[in-house]
Amino acid sequence: AQSVTQPDIHITVSEGASLELRCNYSYGATPYLFWYVQSPGQGLQLLLKYFSGDTLVQGIKGFEAEFKRSQSSFNLRKPSVHWSDAAEYFCAVGGQTGANNLFFGTGTRLTVIP
């Protein structure tokens, strides 16, 4: 069965610092992997996705993520964090044949300090 683990509940970084949010997944076949962001008062917004091909994927807002099959990971990165990046970040896995639902992690809350 699919599952997603986000080990970090809360991360605090300084504005301008680099960021890496961890995500580990469990899935029997090639996963479809996603990162969503939820800003305060907003819905979940898709940042980026991985289906196949290049394991380094680029997303919106300057984010990228790297799929590492050997580590069952799909970590999200950003080289320089902006104050507006403060939000909740969710990793999700999908792709079960015939299904279109997602399995989410518990989320990582990002705080950005000046």
Partner 1 sequence: EPEVTQTPSHQVTQMGQEVILRCVPISNHLYFYWYRQILGQKVEFLVSFYNNEISEKSEIFDDQFSVERPDGSNFTLKIRSTKLEDSAMYFCASSMVRESTGELFFGEGSRLTVL
Name the residues that contact partner 1, by CB under 8 A: 4, 32, 34, 36, 41-46, 49, 51, 90, 92, 94-107
In the complex, minimum distance from the CB of residue 14 to partner 1, in angstroms, rounded to a whole number: 26
* Closer residue to partner 1 (CB): 90 or 112: 90
d(CA 12, CA 29): 34
What value, to the nearest 5°, has the Cα angle with vertex 90 and ends 66 and 18? 55
* Closer residue to partner 1 (CB): 70 or 97: 97
* Closer residue to partner 1 (CB): 107 or 112: 107
In the complex, minimum distance from the CB of residue 103 to partner 1, in angstroms, rounded to a whole number: 7
Strand partners, 103: 93
In the complex, minimum distance from the CB of residue 99 to partner 1, in angstroms, rounded to a whole number: 6
**Beta strands per DSSP E along 27-72:** 32-38, 44-50, 56-58, 64-68
* Closer residue to partner 1 (CB): 81 or 107: 107
In the complex, minimum distance from the CB of residue 69 to partner 1, in angstroms, rounded to a whole number: 18
d(CA 12, CA 111): 5
70: left (phi over 0), alpha (psi -120 to 50) or beta: alpha
